[in-house]
Chain A
């Protein structure tokens, strides 16, 4: 089943890093996914996060305010 990955962040350096780690990890575990970058502040807030960057998987907040390591990210997406 396809997973919906959303990266929340207004475009800071860490947001780019989170997006990169997420995609790398998703590819490494052969996940079928669709990724979207959410940069509008009102949409970010609607998720209820207070620290960016954040990762939302199928509507569930998985990471907020940090960039996990590649290994941690693989476990998180699995």
Chain B
């Protein structure tokens, strides 16, 4: 979100003397971090206690497995979400679409694609403003392929996906997702640039009269950035917590009641057609990372192959029908088709690659 005059005039008391304020922040931060850490380390014992003592479920029954999974994963994922969304909220206060555009304008294509994909991760982005952003980039001289690298990476590689992957699968899968997501954004954007699709952008885009942005660069003090982090937690966690709970509930059901290896035949490594099928199913599906990842995790536990699962997840999060409809205002159908095709192709490669090497 953009820094504004309002944010710098936040209701927090102004920092007058640098050192005491800094100490105050560090102290509060440390205290909160300690509380967070204690809560996090108590998750497993509390979940165990709740399942077997409080609810009195019998050990090793399907219901007990499902319930323990649920009461462990829900608070864990929510704790991780709060921490990361807060941190990302602070990081994002340093990046605005305007600043990103200024960095990307006039960059050479290959370097530009890499930068755009990286900036896509940290620049605040909402698919509802994809159109003004697209026009803002293109009319400021950001090459079309570079703009696409940004538009692909921004929704696909987001902090919520990374938190959930880290929480449910561990850091290796989260790192793989980050790496391959960036790879697809860079590769697909570069390909679109090579295809010289400029004439498939609606003509009015290039003719659009864009005014200078009078919002300008505002310097925020640290208090305002912390406030931005808090605001991000309120906004994002407030929006996705229900999906997390529902996703984990479905995941818990799969975890407890679907027999192990049930998914091996359909989503396992042996089935070559499972990767394209996952992508085909995933593209029209529209969910956020918060809802889909807990389900995906449960599938993985039942014998689905990691590559197939990654491909499914990326096509659900990265390519969405509503965004295509919004982008239709600025892109001709052919370019939309190429966009979907190139990104889906990249996802297929990733899926096969991981099934082959892991």
Interface residues of A (CB under 8 A from B): 10, 12, 14, 41-42, 44-52, 60-66, 68-69, 71-73, 75-76
Shortest Cβ distance from A48 into chain B, in angstroms?
Answer: 4
Given that A50-B101, A66-B2 are known contacts, is A72 also in contact with B213, CB under 8 Å in the complex?
no
> How far apart are the CA atoms of A16 and B84 in the complex, in Å?
28
Residues of A near B132 (CB, < 8 A) are 41, 44-45, 49-52
Residue B353, interface by CB 8 Å: no
B9 contact set on A, CB distance < 8 A: 72, 75
Does B133 make an interface contact (CB < 8 A)? yes
In angstroms, Cα B215 to Cα A10, docked, is 20
A10–B136 Cα distance when bound, in Å, is 16
Q: How far is the CB of A76 from chain B (nearest CB, A)?
A: 5
Assuming A62-B5, A65-B129, is B124 touching A51 (CB within 8 A)?
yes
Given A47-B211, A49-B213, A52-B129, are A41 and B329 neighbors across the interface (CB < 8 Å)? yes
Interface size bucket, B side?
20 to 34
Among B2, B11, B137, residue most surrounded by chain A Cβ atoms (within 10 Å) = B2
Q: CB-CB < 8 A to A76: which residues of B? A: 4-6
The one of A45, A50, A66, A68 in contact with B208, judged by C-beta atoms closer than 8 angstroms, is A45
Most B Cβ at <10 Å: residue of A12, A44, A62, A64: A64
Provide the residues of chain B in CB contact with A49, threshold 8 Å.
Answer: 132, 136, 213, 215
Nearest CB of B to A26, in Å: 14
Q: Is B323 an interface residue (CB 8 A)?
A: no
How far is it, in angstroms, between the C-alpha of A52 and the C-alpha of B329 when the chains are bound? 16
Contact A60–B10 (Cβ < 8 Å): no
For residue B210, which residues in chain A have a CB less than 8 angstroms away from its CB?
45-46, 48
| Beyond A14-B128, A48-B213, 17 extra complex contacts between A and B, CB < 8 Å | A10-B128, A14-B126, A41-B329, A45-B209, A46-B208, A46-B209, A46-B210, A48-B211, A48-B214, A51-B2, A62-B6, A65-B1, A65-B126, A66-B4, A68-B7, A69-B11, A75-B6
Decide if B135 is an interface residue (CB 8 Å cutoff): yes
Interfacial chain A residues near B10, Cβ < 8 Å: 72
| Chain B hits for A71, CB < 8 A | 11
- A66 and B2 CA atoms in complex are apart in Å by 7
Taking the complex as formed, is B91 at the interface, i.e. its CB lies under 8 A from any CB of chain A? no
CB of B55 within 8 A of chain A?
Answer: no
Separation of A49 and B135 alpha carbons in the complex (Å): 10
Do the beta carbons of B208 and A63 come within 8 Å of each other?
no
User: Which residues from chain A contact B215 at a C-beta distance below 8 Å?
Assistant: 49, 61-62, 64
- Whether A63 and B136, one on each chain, are in contact in the complex, defined by CB atoms closer than 8 angstroms, is no
Q: Which of A42, A61, A68 contacts B213 (CB 8 A)?
A: A61
CB of B126 within 8 A of CB of A63, answer no
